[in-house]
Structure 1
């Protein structure tokens, strides 16, 4: 049955039950060095930091448009929060103070070699999601919550997340999905709210994408979430589009055409459903 998306109080901040479910699925370890890649400022860094050694949060930029120059950032300082100093930067200034470069003159990647357990990184890094400024295998835990498909070019983003994940580490993907046999009609509602919505992938499409990118899937958690409509509609770009969504769902409740959102009225409030998946993968 669907799980209601209500809020419960967590240490220092309210956590939705499904964020708590994701944390339990992630199984953070106190020695983990974590990277969270989000579109905007997601809740994962704050949820992870009490349970791990170090967290770095990337506010990810979509890949550059075709013909525009991309590439990794060349200057980022990552603090560890309690006076332990910045992490070491590969290719940084040499003994004579000259800026270093990466292999072949490329911008240097950064090496997360220090940190203090339970200390969030105070610097929020902005970076191209397909060109993260870290060396290979820098993190034992990499998370991407509702960002893999939203950023565009999911295959390239996924390969980059796997590149910075250490062998034996874990990559955790959390995203919207639809059943393998479900029709994509449900995306009509999503695109009314957000015209840039990339489309909801099937469960099989998500798992195939991960294995094709070079990872093995260790665990999979797929479940249905029932949530109130109005807070979700608050993110709609166009008030008229929000009204059309509201009307379509109310029509379905009254026996009209199906939207795929399975709406119902609870306590005088309109609710709808989504399918979410948590996938735990390991670089091969």
Structure 2
């Protein structure tokens, strides 16, 4: 193992298996110019940074906050023309596994350039980047369709647009959406995987690969963002009741190590811009 390979392996091993899975799914190459569209600090740009030529991380949420406060968002730095990369190929999907989410293993990193700008009006020319990513940010950007159109626009033909999102479970989806809105009344609901694929198609891209994974997470950390402690306790009780044979919540609860956990479904989509 070369020193560079060992360094990359060590950085990725300190993250989490599902973050590694997303990085592998994105198929980064050393010549990639990468743009990551996010809503604050996240682990994906740091995980991609040692594997590509350059990563530009867009903090769209911070830009929106600055504009709301009356301050202009900083101008994004120019990016040189990227080197060509091979087109993505369609690969067959596999069985959906379940892994355990461990938030303590998430760590941000240095080595990326971060800019604040509007996700619906990225200040880059068409085809500037060869890899454009977004991880769990679309529903927080206000207009996912416009954000996806911008992601596709700034991605070079033959490049990859890679999106990771929490999606509706294959069953009990309405019950799960009710649970999400109880926890956070502003939550727009979980998108269906088919809807994400349709939005990418309407944005001008061909979906080449799909990946889906069930991820179990500690309930306490999810309920920490609840708007009302009484509501959080009601959600907890609903999951306990489900374990005792009560109504299904769509959260697929389970007790792990004496603690209550719930299950998310995460989807990865890789698309290639299609220029008519």
TM (norm. structure 1) is 0.75
1:46, 1:162 → 2: CA distance? 22
- Where do 5+ consecutive residues of structure 1 fail to align? 1-8, 79-109
The CA RMSD measured in Å over matched residues stands at 2.8
- Aligned residue for 1:21? 21
8 Å CA contact retained: 1:62, 1:129: no
Q: Which residues of 2 match residues 125-136 of structure 1 at below 5 A?
A: 125-136=115-126
Asked whether the 8 Å contact 2:157–2:273 carries over to 1, the reply is yes
Partner residue of 2:80 out of 90, 105, 112:
112
Are the equivalent residues in 1 in contact too, given 2:205–2:271 (CA < 8 A)?
yes
Which of the numbers 128, 131, 134 marks the counterpart of 1:141?
131
Aligned to 2:270: 280
Q: State the alpha-carbon separation in 2 of the partners of residues 252 and 180 from structure 1.
A: 18
5 Å-filtered alignment, 1:260-279, equals 260-279=250-269
Aligned counterparts of 1:13 and 1:133: Cα–Cα separation in 2: 34
1:168 aligns with 2:158: yes
Partner SS state of residue 272, structure 1: strand
1:231–1:14 distance in 2 versus 1, CA, 3 Å: farther
Shift of 1:62: 8.9
Find the counterpart in structure 2 of residue 104 from structure 1.
none
- The residue correspondences of 1:174-253 to structure 2 (distance < 5 A) are 174-179=164-169, 182-253=172-243
1:38 paired to 2:38: yes
> Contact between 1:180 and 1:204, CA under 8 Å: does it hold in 2?
no
Runs of 5+ in structure 2 lacking a partner? 1-8, 84-109
Higher helix fraction (1 or 2) = 2
SS in 2 for 1:57: strand
Match of 2:99 in 1: none
Moved more, 213-222 or 189-198: 189-198
Other structure's SS at 1:75 match: coil
Do structure 1's residue 50 and structure 2's residue 40 form an aligned pair? no
Local SS of the residue matching 2:191: coil
* Residue matched to 1:6: none
Q: What is the aligned residue count?
A: 236
Instruction: Identify if the C-alpha distance between structure 1 residues 181 and 215 changes in structure 2 by more than 3 Å, giving closer, same or farther.
Output: farther
